[in-house]
Amino acid sequence: KQRAAQMTAVLYIGVQNLPIRHPDADAHAWVTVRFGVASEIPKQNATPGNFIEEARRALNLAKTERDRTA
């Protein structure tokens, strides 16, 4: 998980440093990104759906944090 978090931080900072205007946005004038990161060691009963749900929860948490700090 640490490697995935590091890669996400690099991508996040990279996009934040790009001056991309978001002309149709009501809340922010600049394009922003949020990531949901998940990683796991495959188990016998694991399904792709479980993994996707984990990433979805992480993304929703990131969006909640964004809305709280906006």
Q: Are 39 and 4 in contact (CB under 8 A)?
A: yes
Is the pLDDT confidence value at 9 over 80? yes
State the Cα–Cα distance between residues 52 and 59, nearest whole angstrom.
Answer: 10
Confidence of residue 69 (pLDDT cuts 50, 70, 90): low
**Per residue in 43-59, pLDDT tens?**
888 888 988 998 899 88
Burial of residue 62, with CB atoms counted within 10 A of its CB: 0-12 exposed, 13-18 middle, 19 or more buried: middle
Give the number of other Cβ atoms within 10 Å of residue 38's Cβ. Answer: 16
Model-level pTM?
Answer: 0.58
